Amino acid sequence: MIFSAPRPFHEALDAAQVKSILPTTGRTFDLQQLDPAIKRRAAFSATVTSADLLQRYRDLEDGLLTGQLDQATARLNIKQMLAEMGYEPDPEHIGDLQDLSSDTRIDLKLETDVQTAQGYGWDLQGQDPDVLDEWPAQELYRAFGPADPRKERDWAARWERASGQFFDGRMIALKNDPIWDRIGSPDLFDDALGNSWPPFAFNSGMDVRDIGRDEAVSLGLIDADTQIFPKQIDLNEGLQASPDVRDADLRAQLEASGLGHFEGDVFVFGPA
């Protein structure tokens, strides 16, 4: 299970703690319009308007990242808070993703947020010059199957659509190849999270593993003496974004979160 081996490195914690709380009435479709840079800096969940609930999620996710909590305990904590708030789900959606108190909805939120923070941390660590020199490439592979096999996605087709190369059926590329941006791009895939590290999509079950220099050379990805330069991965990178957000309420919610402000169609991070 995802939380059986906690990864309490500070890069993952930094990725989680840098986020601003974003209460929003926006549904999943609305939030998909947000620029990935905004999503990386905002703690939100579709139709969740309670800042207290979002803060509780963030606190619990910190506990999961440090290994001080397990997922079952975190899930129960959220359920108890919702009960104290007097939350009652729509009778037509009890137990599904629109039910804020369902195991499915709570687990999706917890797992996606924690995996995203971990993925950011591992990606950042992988850009250490010495690590990158020794392990310059990575492979996309299935780490675990989907909870519902009927919802299995064709990641080979996705890789091909994103112009990835195959090596005897394996999906491998240099760590700094644009393919990692493309397979997580909402512009290409409706379910994408906007990450250039795992998870690239909700409930994908896909992860990456390092490929050493000797294998990268044998595959023709680099020459033996090729020097690989780190990319910049910074949550303060790209201090402006141009999200396709036309809904006035969602714009107002973004600005009210303190995350930034709009100047025309450009969202500028930080105070006006």
Q: Please list the pLDDT of the chain residue by residue as tens digits (272 residues).
A: 333 444 445 666 565 555 777 777 777 777 776 766 677 677 777 778 788 888 899 899 989 988 899 999 999 999 999 999 999 999 999 999 899 999 999 999 999 989 988 888 888 888 889 999 999 999 999 998 765 665 678 999 999 999 999 999 999 999 999 999 999 998 899 888 889 999 999 888 899 999 999 999 999 999 999 988 888 655 554 455 555 555 677 677 767 776 677 777 777 766 66
Q: Are residues 208 and 239 in the same domain?
A: no
This prediction has a pTM of: 0.77
Looking at the structure, do residues 80 and 180 belong to the same domain, yes or no?
A: no
Taking each helix axis from N to C end, the angle separating 10-17 and 103-126, rounded to the nearest 10 degrees, works out to 120
| Burial class of residue 9 (count of CB atoms within 10 Å of its CB; 0-12, 13-18, 19+) | middle
Are residue 105 and residue 211 in the same domain, yes or no? no
The answer to whether position 263 is within a domain reads yes
Residue 84, burial from CB neighbour count under 10 angstroms (0-12, 13-18, 19+):
exposed
**Residue 25 within any structural domain of the chain:** yes
Same-domain check for residues 110 and 44 = yes
Pair (117, 243) in one structural domain: yes
Residue 186: give the domain boundaries. 128-218
Quick one: which of 130, 205, 142, 137 has its CA closest to 165? 137
Q: How many domains does the chain have?
A: 2
Cα–chain center distance at 161: 21
53 and 30 part of one domain: yes
* Last residue in a domain, options 218, 244, 261: 218
Q: Which residues contact 203 (CB under 8 A, 6 or more apart)?
A: 108, 146, 147, 151
89 & 142 share domain: no
Domain co-membership, 239 together with 201: no
Q: Decide if 227 is inside a domain.
A: no
Residue 172 lies in a domain: yes
14 and 75 fall within a common domain: yes
Identify whether residues 74 and 102 lie together within a single domain. Answer: yes
- Copy the structure tokens of residue 248: 């006035």
**Residue 253 falls within a domain, yes or no?**
yes
